[in-house]
Amino acid sequence: MNLQSSVWWLLLCSSLATASAISAESREYAAGRRAMLDEIAADARRTAFDTGRSRFSEPVMQAMQRVPRHAFVPEQYRTVAYANRPLPIGHGQTISQPYIVALMSDLLDIEPGDRVLEIGTGSGYQAAVLAELDAKVFSIEIIEPLAKQAAERLPELGYRSIELRHADGYYGWQEAAPFDAIIVTAAANSVPPPLIRQLKPGGVLVIPVGAPFLTQSLIKVEKTAAGELHTQRILPVRFVPLTGERE
């Protein structure tokens, strides 16, 4: 076998080994992922009176299916990565319950190509779900180690339509505004005025509002073409607090 053939053979073996590893990993988590989707669907039916949605859109459910949640949690939690509950990701933060991720994504009513601002990148899981909906995602994380980890993790997983920034999300991302949708994954005492200003007319903002470490309300804010705000309380939630905010 000549040198060129040897190199080709090594590359082929490497590709086959990588594909085999990915396939084995997919099989390992497949049952948990199916169970997660079933639980999301069941929770959607159970909370339909509060949310007005007995089921989530097919694109949202497909996004939830495609994103490898196990890749966004610390290794010690990977055996329960697809449990329908929040999990610690370090620095006092959590990856949100899958049902809540699906609900908040669905409430945004994202269209392909929409510009979406996320406040609170965390592990990057919610940003990946938004990217799977063909949104252009701008995500801000105030905790520097989490911001750095997400900046490495997301491209490695193939998510390259996400721009990340280490900053105080209370002030939004003025240079990239306006946004078709804004999602806040931490609880604020009130809706930050800069985010309202950066929301397009016709846009939607979803945010948990309430006191830290107590039950909060998930709020949906719609901005009309005339700039008027229509606010709807969706259901009780519990999120970590939005740090760095100014009242």
pLDDT (average), residues 5-28: 50
Q: Would you state the structure tokens that stand for residue 130, as one six-digit string?
A: 């938004």
Report CA dihedral (11, 14, 15, 16) to the nearest 10 degrees. 120
Identify the helix (H) or strand (E) that includes residue 105: helix 98-107
Checking if the pLDDT of 227 tops 80, the result is yes
245 confidence band (pLDDT: 50, 70, 90): low
Determine which one of 5, 15, 54, 96 is catalytic.
Answer: 96
Task: Give residue-wise pLDDT tens across range 106-140.
Answer: 999 999 999 999 999 999 999 999 999 999 999 99
Q: What pLDDT does 25 receive?
A: 60
For residue 65, give the nearest of 21, 95, 93, 35 by alpha carbon: 35
**Phi and psi at residue 3, to the nearest 5°:** -60, -45
Our answer to whether residue 96 is catalytic in this structure is yes
Checking if the pLDDT of 14 tops 50, the result is no
CA-to-CA separations, 25 to 12, 71, 125, 244, in angstroms, rounded = 20, 11, 18, 38
Burial zone of 156 (CB within 10 Å; 0-12 exposed, 13-18 middle, 19+ buried): exposed
CA-to-CA separations, 152 to 60, 116, 144, 180, in angstroms, rounded = 24, 20, 13, 26
CATH of 3-237, one of 3.30.1330.100, 3.40.50.150, 1.10.3720.10, 1.10.10.10: 3.40.50.150
- Please state the domain extents for the chain: 3-237
Indicate the pTM of the whole model. Answer: 0.88
Give every CB contact of residue 57 below 8 A, 6+ residues apart in sequence.
Answer: 106
For residue 81, give the nearest of 125, 43, 145, 147 by alpha carbon: 125
* Size of the chain, expressed as the number of residues it contains: 247
| pLDDT, the chain, mean | 90
* Separation of CA 70 from chain center: 14
Checking if the pLDDT of 10 tops 60, the result is no
Q: Are 176 and 138 in contact (CB under 8 A)?
A: yes
Instruction: Report which residue type is found at 106.
Output: D
Q: Tokens 């049902």, residue?
A: 99
Q: Are 211 and 130 in contact (CB under 8 A)?
A: no
Dihedral sign computed on CA atoms, order 152, 153, 155, 161: negative
Q: Are 243 and 119 in contact (CB under 8 A)?
A: no
Q: Would you state the structure tokens that stand for residue 84, as one six-digit string?
A: 């329908």
Neighbours of 56 (CB within 10 A): 21
